[in-house]
Every structure is written in structure tokens, then in C-alpha cells.
Amino acid sequence: MNMTDVALLVIDMQQDFLSPASPLFVAGGPTMVPSLERALKAARFANESIIHVIRQHRVTGIDVDQSRRALFAETGGFLVAGTPGAEELPQLAPAPGDFTVVKTRWSAFFATDLEGLLRRLGAHRLILTGVQTPNCIRATANDALSLDYATVVLSDATASQTEEIQMSNLRDMTAMGVEVMTVSQFEQSLGMQGR
Amino acid sequence: MNMTDVALLVIDMQQDFLSPASPLFVAGGPTMVPSLERALKAARFANESIIHVIRQHRVTGIDVDQSRRALFAETGGFLVAGTPGAEELPQLAPAPGDFTVVKTRWSAFFATDLEGLLRRLGAHRLILTGVQTPNCIRATANDALSLDYATVVLSDATASQTEEIQMSNLRDMTAMGVEVMTVSQFEQSLGMQGR
């Protein structure tokens, strides 16, 4: 286990959020994957902690948000544990030493052991990546700030349904105290040159 | 104590958010106060539970969000318990039977006893009012949905710095499952005629 001040979170980069046929498809997701890969590579290079946060549901949907239970029933379910839709994209999948946290709601902190894990790792600064910006990224950023973590969102390693949604959410998060930076700026902050 | 299925939350309607001289002033706040008063009156008429949620800090600022500690020090502090800046607007102040919950972060659920209180009241549906929409209203709505409350935001009894921020946040919350309605629609839902 690395003791690192920084942890990079890869949030919800699962097939059911990134496949156009899925009811949960995030339109801006697929094109930012290469940029998220770069961020992940930079974090590995710097020996930072890497935490994969994934959303999973039981096959009956008993644990799905009330606001989505009808959709879950109508569509035959999504993000069901053990199904292909719940899997992370293979190019982002955990390497040895990475951590995985499973959640059922938007925030990575909600009813998970993420906070205890971060305390053990000694992390005080979180780098957020993944989908989608207005929901899981923002909810996680909000809890992270409330828990006094220095909180960074990588603007080109996160995504939304539209560019306007992406930009308005980055603006609101900046106003709350989130540091928004690009993957290139993140690489530079680690002493790596941009590509 | 009323046992009611519905609770109306009045969030952060304090002088330091609503006075133009305050560093935390929410520009859209003052003009929506009369409309929030109407919502409060309607909720009282319907015997719904009313919960005032206020943000308060210790005079040293030890409990202020990290992202605002510099601002707190530079400005001589804000929302300090016992000072005029921490007081609710007099026209919205608690009536006998109302509840007050004190918080130090954005979400009304964060490190407060709100959830236990709502359980005792039997509330399953929350009506959110107050300031400001992208921060405290949205963070509270997010936790409320995650906790499976039916969640309503009153579009004209909440406010932001700008109309654009207000609209983009209402749009994002609608996409998450929040029901957005006007105060008039809220009055109608209680069987009251609009004015």
C-alpha cells in the first residue's frame, strides 16, 4: 500500500454509462477516455493511490435510487453486479495495488468505506475523474469539500451529456472551492512534461 | 409535534447571505423573499412540518470549510453564532412548533440530526426553499434523493447569484429526479388557490 497524500478517483467508468445503447449513456463520455487514461498513467507514475469507484445494483433493483426504480424496471435493469454493463472499461481496469469502492448512489462517500480508506492512505487531496460531471462527480466533490479534502476535478477527464452542462457544473464547483485543471496541468503538477 | 408526510425546509435565509455588504451575499436572494413567505404560509396552513436550516460558525472559524477559511479570516468572519449576521430574516423566523437544525456545511444532512428528525416526524417528502441553489439547495437535494426522499425544489423560493446559475441548476436537479415547481403550484398541490 502506498502512503500518499493524493488519491485519484476513477468514477463510474462502466459500460452502462459509456455504451450508446444504455439508458444511462453519458454522451460526452467516450471521447474523453484517452484523456482519462493519460491521467491514470500520470498518477501511477507518481505512485499516487488510485481508487476505482463503481456503481452496482442488485438484480432486483431493490437498492436503486427511488427516482430511477421505474427506469430500472422498464429497461430490464442496469449496472447489475456481475453483468457486462457493470464492468469498467477494460483500458481503465484496476491494476495490482489499486482499490475499488462500490456505491449505489451519486456520491462516492455515500454509504461506502471511502472515507476510512482515504484516512488509512493518508490522502488529503483528491483528483476526481469519470462520469458524469453534474451527478456523481459533483456529489463526490461536494462531500469531499465538506470533509475538508483539497479537491481537484480534471476538466477533460470528466464528462457530461452536453458541453453546456459540463461548463456550468465546472463553474459552480469552482465557486465552491474545487480546483479545476486539465490533464496536462495535472501532469505538469507531478513534474511530468505534457505530451 | 405534527406527524406529517411533508416537511418544508427553509435553508440559510440568514442576514449574512441576504445583506449586500456581506462577502456571502447571494444576489438573487432578496427579491424572492416574499415568494418564500408565501410558501411558508401555505405549509403552515397545511400543518406541514417546518424546519429552519441555518449555517453557523464558531467565532474562531475553526469549523469553517477549508475552502473558505481564508475568506473568513480576511473578512473578520461571517455567520458567527450569536451575531446579527447569523440571524434569520425576521419575516421568516421560526414560529412555535417549527424546528431548527444548525449546520456548518452545504448539505442540511451533513453532520446534523436532520435525518433522525425527519424519521420521527414521518416525513417522506421534502420541499426545499432558501439560498443558494447551486450550493446548499443542491447539496441538500442530492442527499435527500440519495436517502430516498421525494424531493421538491420551489423554483421561485430559491435563489442564486444569477438567473443563468439558477436555471442550469434547476435543469441538472430535474435530471436527477428532483421535482421542480413554483410556489403557486405548491399552493395548488395543497388545495389552496393561487393568489
- B139 and A135 in contact by Cβ < 8 A? no
Contacts of B135 in chain A (CB under 8 A): 172, 175-176
The minimal CB distance from A148 to the residues B66, B143, B177 is found for B66
Nearest residue of A to residue B142 by CA position? A139
Which amino acid does the sequence have at B192?
M
> Could you give the CA distance from residue A36 to residue A154 in angstroms, rounded to a whole number?
9
> pLDDT digit string (tens) for B128-173?
999 999 999 999 999 999 999 999 999 999 999 999 999 999 999 9
**In this predicted model, what pLDDT tens digit does every residue of A6-51 receive, in sequence order?**
999 999 999 999 999 999 999 999 999 999 999 999 999 999 999 9
H/E stretch holding B54 reads strand B49-55
The torsion angles phi and psi of B35, rounded to 5 degrees, stand at -70, -35
Q: To probe the interface with A, which of B55, B136, B143 has the most A CB atoms within 10 Å?
A: B143
Q: Which residues, other chains included, contact A62 with Cβ-Cβ below 8 Å and sequence gap of 6+?
A: none
Report chain B residues whose CB lies below 8 A from the CB of A176.
67, 106, 134-135
Check CB contact under 8 Å for B172 and A134: yes
Minimal Cα–Cα distance from B25 to chain A, Å? 13
| Residue B118 CA: distances (Å) to CA of A67, A137, A193, B124 | 19, 27, 52, 8
ipTM: 0.86
For the stretch A51-108, pLDDT in tens is 999 999 999 999 999 999 999 999 999 999 999 999 999 999 999 999 999 999 999 9
> What are the structural domain ranges in chain B?
6-189
**Mean per-residue pLDDT for A151-178?**
98
Q: What stretches of A46-85 show up as alpha helix (H) in DSSP?
A: 69-75
pTM of this structure: 0.91
Within 8 A of A110 by CB-CB distance, chain B residues are: 143, 146
pLDDT at A192: 80
Round to whole Å and give the CA distance between A47 and A16.
29
A172 to B150: CB separation less than 8 angstroms, yes or no = no
Q: Given this model, what pLDDT does residue A191 score? A: 85
The rounded distance, in Å, linking the Cα atoms of B118 and B108 is 12
Residue-wise pLDDT for B72-129, tens only, equals: 999 999 999 999 999 999 999 999 999 999 999 999 999 999 999 999 999 999 999 9
**What three-state secondary structure class fits A27?**
coil
Residue of chain A with shortest Cα separation from B146 = A105
Which three cell numbers, joined as nine digits, stand for B153?
425544489
Q: Which of the four pLDDT bands, split at 50, 70 and 90, describes residue B193?
A: low
- Give the DSSP letter string of B2-48: ---SEEEEEE--BHHHH-TTSTT--TTHHHHHHHHHHHHHHHHHTT-
Of B67, B145, B172, the CB nearest to A165: B172
Q: Between chains, do B176 and A134 touch, taking CB under 8 Å as contact?
A: yes
Cis peptide before B132 (omega within 30 of 0): yes
Cα–Cα dist B60/B53, whole Å:
21
Task: State residue B191's pLDDT score.
Answer: 85
B174: closest chain A residue by CA: A67
Query: What is the biggest distance separating any 2 CA atoms in chain A, rounded to whole angstroms?
Result: 49
Q: Which residues of B touch A171 (CB under 8 A)?
A: 165
- φ, ψ dihedrals at A181, nearest 5°: -145, 165
Q: Which residues contact B194 (CB under 8 A, 6 or more apart)?
A: B184, B187, B188
Number of A/B CB contacts below 8 angstroms equals: 78
Higher pLDDT, A194 or A119: A119
pLDDT digits (tens, 9 = 90+) for A107-151: 999 999 999 999 999 999 999 999 999 999 999 999 999 999 999
Question: Would the pLDDT of B1 be above 90?
Answer: no
Q: Which of A161, A172, A179, A180 to mutate to test the interface with B (most CBs of B within 10 A)?
A: A172
> Which of A91, A98, A86 shows the shortest CA–CA distance to A35?
A91
CATH 3.40.50.850, applies to B6-189: yes
- Round to whole Å and give the CA distance between A131 and A150: 20
What whole-number distance in Å separates Cα of residue B126 and Cα of residue B150? 6
Per DSSP, chain A holds a count of helices (H) and strands (E) of: 7, 6
Place B27 in a pLDDT band, splitting at 50, 70 and 90: very high
Q: What are phi and psi of B97, to 5 degrees?
A: 95, -20
A25 DSSP 8-state letter: -
Q: Are the beta carbons of A176 and B66 separated by less than 8 Å?
A: no
B interface toward A at CB cutoff 8 Å?
A: 65-68, 105-107, 110, 134-135, 138-139, 142-143, 145-146, 148, 150, 164-165, 168-169, 171-172, 175-177
Q: Do B146 and A177 touch (CB under 8 A)?
A: no
